[in-house]
Amino acid sequence: MRAVAAALVAAALLGAAPLPAAAQQQCAQPANHVVPQAGWALQRLAPSLVWDLTSGESVTVAVIGTGVSAAAPALSGAVLPGQSLSGGAGDDDCAGRDTFMAGVIAARPAAGTGFTGVAPGARILPIRITNDPKEVDAGKLASAIRSAADGGAKVIAVSVGTAAADSGLRAAVSYALSKDALVIAPSDVDVGQDAIPYPAAFPEALPVTGITGEGEPIQHAAGPPALVAPGNEVVGIAPRGNGQLVASGGGIGVAFVAGTAALVRAYHPELSAAQVRNRLQDTADHPPAELPDPQHGHGVVNPVAAVTSVLPAESGEKPMAAAAPPVHLPPVPFADPLPRLVALLVTGGVGLLVAVAGLGAVLLPRARRRGWRSAWHDVPRNEG
């Protein structure tokens, strides 16, 4: 029975499968079963390796979709009041989808389980725009993105999508970027038959698609080339309960990328939202299988590399000064030293010979008068 309940909650969370009509009126059930393992996704990404440097502290991550439950124990003290554009409160979540996403982003460590959020020091700003992840109004989504940017969020995680390429929605994403907030959205959510999901398809947003533990895409991504993150059999939390559940579905990858962005923004506060986006893409690595778009995909998000890598464009080094124009001096005649050296040697040699000859002219007559002979003069010769 517990397994059935968990399956229903997971389906409600992520829209992986339709629920019976009666079940659609019910809110997600508490998760009371503790999953001791961290799950393959956290083991694959290993964000804990940089928690001594950054845990996402002081960074506010907005989560836009079904709301986030402040009653979830793993998010105790992390959820801001937020707001709702579809009735109810922003810090409550009937569907459970965004609470699951927020747990992947910022769940605090808890005894008995290895599961925690990618950035367990981050704050969550929930904005509810729907109770059904498949019913998304583009106008409300645009308003939510603007509100998130005005509310101080530096990372905006959109868990849902729409097929409407609404100009107001694109303007909202651009507005968020102008407020130094990075919008991260799923390109693998179902918004209709082969329809492209927005805002992920807008160039101002960072699109994300999910993969399995083997690196295979969990489902077709109709949007542009995307950053890749785990989206299958991911450990997460429910709106209530001290336990965890395991779920799969489009949009989950956004949470891993948003958590990584929070780590980067806390450790590199000098970087703009656009620079953070580039860093996430430039430091991504490739999964064991082909990417959804092997020609243009950016690879799997890598929290450790995203935080610790030194990228040339961000090194802070001053650009090299332009080279000064060359100064054209008049040519200096080349003086070959060899003729002068030869002349000196010849002159010196002639002088030496003259000196020796003069000395000989004086000494030899005197030697003869005194009877000087060579040392070899008296050496006996062998005659026979």
Per-residue pLDDT of the chain (384 residues; tens, 9 = 90+): 334 334 434 544 444 333 333 345 489 999 999 999 999 999 999 999 999 999 999 999 999 999 999 999 999 999 999 999 998 899 999 999 999 999 999 999 999 999 999 999 999 999 999 999 999 999 999 999 999 999 999 999 999 999 999 999 999 999 999 999 999 999 999 998 889 999 999 999 999 999 999 988 887 777 677 899 999 999 999 999 999 999 999 999 999 999 999 999 999 999 999 999 999 999 999 655 555 554 346 799 999 999 999 998 775 433 333 333 333 333 434 344 445 544 555 555 555 555 545 555 554 455 455 444 433 333 344 443
In DSSP notation, 215-245 reads: S-BSS---SSS-EEEE-SSEEE--SSSS--E
Q: Which residues contact 36 (CB under 8 A, 6 or more apart)?
A: 112, 113, 114
Three-state SS at 377: coil
Domain residue extents for the chain: 2-310
CB neighbours of 21 closer than 8 A, spacing ≥ 6?
none
What pLDDT was estimated at residue 315? 56
Phi, psi at 204, each rounded to 5°? -80, -15
- Cα separation, 288 vs 213, whole angstroms: 9
Q: Which residues contact 318 (CB under 8 A, 6 or more apart)?
A: none
Residue 104's pLDDT is what? Answer: 98
Task: Please state which CATH number belongs to domain 2-310.
Answer: 3.40.50.200
Residue 225: per-residue pLDDT: 77
Task: Note the pLDDT of residue 339.
Answer: 52
* Among 23, 12, 39, 15, residue whose Cα is nearest residue 249: 15
Instruction: Report DSSP state, residue 336.
Output: -
The model's pTM is 0.77
Radius of gyration of the chain (CA): 40
CA triple 142-144-150, angle to 5 deg: 105
Phi, psi dihedrals of residue 95, rounded to the nearest 5°: -70, -35
